Every structure is written in C-alpha cells, then in structure tokens.
Structure 1
C-alpha cells in the first residue's frame, strides 16, 4: 500500500495515477472529504487528514509500504516557516509511529543551501527533519516548474508580452514539467535503496525566459517577447497573489538567488534525472486547459 499526499496538486495526482495504472494499492490523503469519491472510483483508498494532524496522519500511514510527501505551500501564512516546521514534525512523528519503511519527499533545487533561498528554506527544513528518521528517504530536488509560466498566459496571449522575474531574459536555468516529477517519484517509490538518497530532477535542457516567450509565440501564432520586471516592482507583482508578506519576501529572495546563480544544481556527485517533456509540450498543454 503506497500512501500519496498532494493529490489535488500536479505531482501527487500523477504519482497516484501512475501507481494505480501499475496495479498497486494506493491510499490518497485529502483534506477535503468532498473530493474522496472521485478517487475511490479510480480504485484508491482515501484518508481524510491534514498533514499537520499527527494522529490523523499516523492512521493515514498505517500499513504503508512507502509514502510520497508533498509539503503544503502555506504561502498565505505569515508564520510560513514556523508552520512548515510544525507540519514536518507532525508528519515525521506519524511516519515513525506508523513504521513507514521508506519515503519520497518532493523537495527543490536550492534545498542544499543553508541560507539565501527564500521560500525554498521550507524544503530544507523538511529534508533535515526527515533525515533523522533512520529509514530510506529520497529527496527529489525538482527544478523550476515549467507550469509556473501559466501565470503569464493572458499577457502573452493579449499583448505579446511575457513578464518575468527571472533575468536577464536570455539566461537559462533548469526547469522541469510536473508530469515528469510525478512520473519519476512513482518510479522511485517502487525501488529499494539505503539511507538518504538525493535526486536532482530537471527537464531535457535548461530554458530562459526568451525560450519561454518563443514557446508561447509558436503555440499562440503571434509574436511574444520576454520582458524582465524591475526588482523594485517585484513586491507589487507578487502582492497580486494571495501571498502573505512573509511569502512575498521569501519569493523575492528566491528569485534573486535564481538570477544570481546561488540556486543551482551544483553537486556533480548527486544522482541526476532528466524528464522528457519540453517547454513546448507544457505550454501547448497549458493553453489547451486555460
């Protein structure tokens, strides 16, 4: 029985679907009981629990042969980092009590850095806590999500402009499709390994904002140009989202670190996996659904 969290998000859904397609027994963890029936109809068991509820998560993990963990973002919270620590502590204790034999955690590029990574520090907190459990744990350090560019579909479509916090616009960074993250996690969770395993995951190649603009241009059939947003305007842009002040400051730090190279896949000895989906695949899919 594999326990999968985050199934209302992009990666957890893929993990659960892949495991069910393989004929594996799957239990999904949901906070909203109203979404349970759809998963039951797909053949999954359902546990209704909040990851911060240690008792409920202990029950959700009962009998598991492995679990896929996605940290809830919590970007609307001023106590973002404290809540991330408390949630991770609750999950870790639930894993210990339920005697889950192995875990795969969705982490992030940059989680190896001790400081200066903004919101990615919540992934580092999770890695550090889960490392103490004494069981096999894989940290799947994913690159920048290609699907993040869904936020700029409308200006690209309407005005031919792709606003970007990443700059310069010709500088490429690692990016990965969430479909490939889920597929890789589903593969890894069925494997055997010892101790802590770190897997860096990105796409077929790195992409720049200019590359993203070109992908939109091809998909939309119109010219699209990437435009770097001045850093002085970042806070205002981020405030359009339901983010707390703490999260906005964290995203500013994260984007600054992406732009100056502080956040990168730097360890050549780390296991590295490349997804197959290109930015053209992802942008084309986003335009179909939005």
Structure 2
C-alpha cells in the first residue's frame, strides 16, 4: 500500500494517476475528497482529513509500505517554521508507531548549504526530523517548478509580462512537476532501496527568466518580457494577496539565497538527475493551452 499526501496538488494528482495506471494499491489523505476525480474514488482508498492530524496519519499509514510526503505551502501560516513543524512532528510519530518502511519527501535543492533561506531552511529541518525516525528516506531535491509560471497567467494574458525577484539573466535549473511525479512513482513502486539520501531532480537545462521570456514569445506568438522586481516589491505583492508577513519574509529570504548565494547550483546535473521535459515543451503542452483557453 502506498500513501499519498496532498493528492490534489500539482505533483500529487500526477503521482496518483501514475500509480493507478501501474496497478498499485493507493491510499490518499484528502481534506476534501470531493475534489478528487471519479476514477480515484473508484480505485483508491481515501482517508478524509488533514495530514497534520496524528490520528488521520496513523489511520492512513497502517500497513503501508511507502509514503509520498509533502508539506503544503500555506501563505496564511503565521510562522514558516511552525507550519512545517505542525505537519512533520505528528508524521514522524506516526511513521515510528506504524513501522512504515519507506518515505519519499518533497524537499529542495540547496538543502546541504542553505542558511537563512526561508522555506528552504524549514524544509531542511523537516528532512532531519524524518531522518531521525530511522525510516528509509529519499528527499527529492528540486529547484523552481516550471508550473509556477501558471501563477502569472493573468499578467501574461493582459500585458505579456511576468515578474522575477531573481536576476533575469541568471540561469537556474527548472523542473516540470510531471517529471517530479515520475521520479516519486519510480521510488515508491520499487522499494528495494534503503538508507537516507537526497535525489536531485534538476530538469534538462539551466534557463534564465529572460530565456523563458524568449521561449514563451516564440511558443505563444506574442511578445513576452520579464520585469525584475526588488525583494521588497516581491514581499509586498505577496502580502497584498493575503500572505502573512512571516510567509512573505520566508519567500523573500529564499529568493535572496537563490540569487545571492547560488544554492541551486550546489549539486551538478548528472544523467541520473536530468529529467526530460524542457521549458519549451512545457510551454507547448501546458502553458499554451491555458493561455488560449
């Protein structure tokens, strides 16, 4: 039995489909099961509740072989560290009590070097808490997601503009969430591994925001440009959309660590960490249909 947290998220919903296609027994923790498609209701077990609840976790992890673990981003959280702790602490207790053998967790690139890096630093603490249980653990180490560009769809449609708090000429790795789901599925379907390691999931190329603008201009057949904003402007934009000061500050610190410290380049890309989807392919297959809808 494979347990999936956050099954309606960008990674989770793709992972669920892949595991069901493979015929794997799947159990989902879902706060709102009504958001799950009919196929999932027909083919998977569903435990209703939040995966910050110890009782929900204990019920879901019973007799499970593996778990996909993701702490959901919650911009309204009053504390970044407190938010991660509120999910991870009961999870670690449930892992220990139920004897789950394998956990695949969503972590971040830079976890070996991050200092004062907001949400990335909180993720590092999460990894250490899980590892302290002794469970076999694979921390998926990712850079920014290509799919995060979807947050810019309104401004892309209206003005042909997206914003970046990172130097728009700075090349960074970027990965499609469908490729993350594929790596997670591979690890969960074949649990012959043990021990605790990071697994880098780096996409096929390093690409800057200005590079992305050129690709989008070509694919969407209209001019697209990146507008650089300061960390202060970025934080203000987040709070104006409902984020708490603490959550916004964490993301500003994270962006600063990426831009100033280059933490996404701590690990070189290898054949094993290279995933297939290019940004151009993602734009053709994901972004373009959304823009034209």
TM (norm. structure 1) is: 0.93
SS in 2 for 1:204: coil
Q: Which sections of structure 1, spanning at least 5 residues, go unmatched?
A: none
Aligned pairs for 1:231-270 within 5 A:
231-267=231-267
Deviation track 1:102-137 (CA, whole Å, cap 9, x = no partner) reads 110011112223522111122112101001111211
SS in 1 for 2:207: coil
The 8 Å contact of residues 8 and 36 in structure 2, kept in 1 or not, is answered as: no
Partner of 1:73: 73
How far apart are the structure 2 equivalents of 1:47 and 1:283?
35
2:168 matches 1:180: no
Aligned pairs for 1:30-49 within 5 A:
30-35=30-35, 38=38, 40-49=40-49
2:271 matches 1:288: no
How far apart are the structure 2 equivalents of 1:283 and 1:123?
28
How far apart are the structure 1 equivalents of 2:163 and 2:9?
25
User: Taking structure 1 as reference, are residues 288 and 24 closer, same or farther at Cα in structure 2, changes over 3 Å only?
Assistant: same
Cα RMSD for the two superposed structures: 2.0
How far apart are the structure 2 equivalents of 1:193 and 1:170?
39
Which range moves more in the overlay, 148-157 or 47-56? 148-157
Offset, 1:269: 10
SS in 1 for 2:151: helix
2:143 matches 1:108: no
2:129 matches 1:164: no
The 8 Å contact of residues 39 and 46 in structure 1, kept in 2 or not, is answered as: no
The 8 Å contact of residues 147 and 176 in structure 2, kept in 1 or not, is answered as: yes
Offset, 1:270: 9.2
User: Taking structure 1 as reference, are residues 176 and 50 closer, same or farther at Cα in structure 2, changes over 3 Å only?
Assistant: same
The 8 Å contact of residues 165 and 229 in structure 1, kept in 2 or not, is answered as: yes
Aligned pairs for 1:1-290 within 5 A:
1-35=1-35, 38=38, 40-167=40-167, 169-191=168-190, 192-267=192-267, 272-284=272-284, 285-289=286-290
Offset, 1:268: 5.3
How far apart are the structure 2 equivalents of 1:242 and 1:279?
29
Which range moves more in the overlay, 57-66 or 74-83? 74-83
The 8 Å contact of residues 163 and 226 in structure 2, kept in 1 or not, is answered as: yes
The 8 Å contact of residues 177 and 277 in structure 1, kept in 2 or not, is answered as: yes
How far apart are the structure 1 equivalents of 2:255 and 2:92?
29
SS in 2 for 1:276: coil
Offset, 1:60: 0.4
Q: Which sections of structure 2, spanning at least 5 residues, go unmatched?
A: none
Aligned residues: 289
Offset, 1:189: 1.4
How far apart are the structure 2 equivalents of 1:7 and 1:103?
15
The 8 Å contact of residues 204 and 278 in structure 1, kept in 2 or not, is answered as: yes
Which range moves more in the overlay, 197-206 or 277-286? 277-286
Offset, 1:148: 1.2
Deviation track 1:76-105 (CA, whole Å, cap 9, x = no partner) reads 111231131121010011111111111100
User: Taking structure 1 as reference, are residues 281 and 268 closer, same or farther at Cα in structure 2, changes over 3 Å only?
Assistant: closer
